[in-house]
Amino acid sequence: MTLSLALDDSVVLVTGGVRGVGAGISRVFLEAGATVVVCARRPGQAELAVGDRVADFVSCDVRDEAAVHDLIARIVDRYGRLDAVVNNAGGAPFALAADASPNFHRKIVELNMLAPLLVSQQANEVMQAQPQGGSIVMVSSVSGHRPSPGTAAYGAAKAGVDSLVGSLAVEWAPKVRVNSIVVGPVETEQSHLHYGDAAGLAAVAQTIPLRRLATPQDVGQCAAFLTSELAGYVSGSTLTVHGGGERPAFLGAVEQAAAQNSSNNTTGVGN
């Protein structure tokens, strides 16, 4: 038996698919032979292409119900179907919960939880009417599964997304599979905003068991797997893509204490 993603004839929508993690996801699907539609409020700085395969860009604010309806309708009108959606659009700037305004929190939850639900609802309506059904993948975050100081509303929204996945997978089965990818730190062109310079990135990498940050391609490959026939019996699941997780803080504290004790003992011997 030959294993294959079999995405050559698939039509895939990637929200927020023009830069960062989204661009990496889009390129993986293009490489797999899929027809890729990307949406964002603004186009990327360069055309997304792999060889002679070019992503179709559509301007869309995924928080706007009418705009999302028009986006899905345009895809179906042009390509005749919609096989997969990767809800990648999202994010949040750093803001302590006590300092951020209610409107700020509202917008973060709207973008990171309500917008993926809106896109998924519209896509599901199309997929339910298709003989082959469809697949929806949410790009979530480890921030939804551990404390997220400075991005509390974002973490709460991502936790909500992962809860949504379980419910939607039950409601929309058997035609539509719904899964999420729980992503850890990713190195993109915007990494310096979160982790600082090269030294900061290297320091963060050392806290990860695999000793590196994820690449956008890593995330894209997992998304492609979940939409493919290889994952045909996977629904309602969260695939954790974080390089082994974050090293427990107590280990560092123990090592630091041991090093300090060793230093003190050495100093004592010399006196």
Active-site residues, by number, are: 154
The neighbouring-strand residues paired with 15 are 39
Pairing of strands 84-87, 134-141: parallel
Name the token pair of 209: 């068991």
Question: Phi and psi for 178 in degrees, rounded to 5?
Answer: -130, 125
Specify whether the CB–CB gap between 15 and 82 falls below 8 A.
no
DSSP string for 133-194: -EEEEEEEEGGGSS--TT-HHHHHHHHHHHHHHHHHHHHSTTTEEEEEEEE--B--TTTHHH
Token look-up 């379980």 returns 166
Specify whether the CB–CB gap between 57 and 30 falls below 8 A.
no
What percent of the chain is helix, strand and coil (3-state, nearest 5)?
A: 45, 15, 35
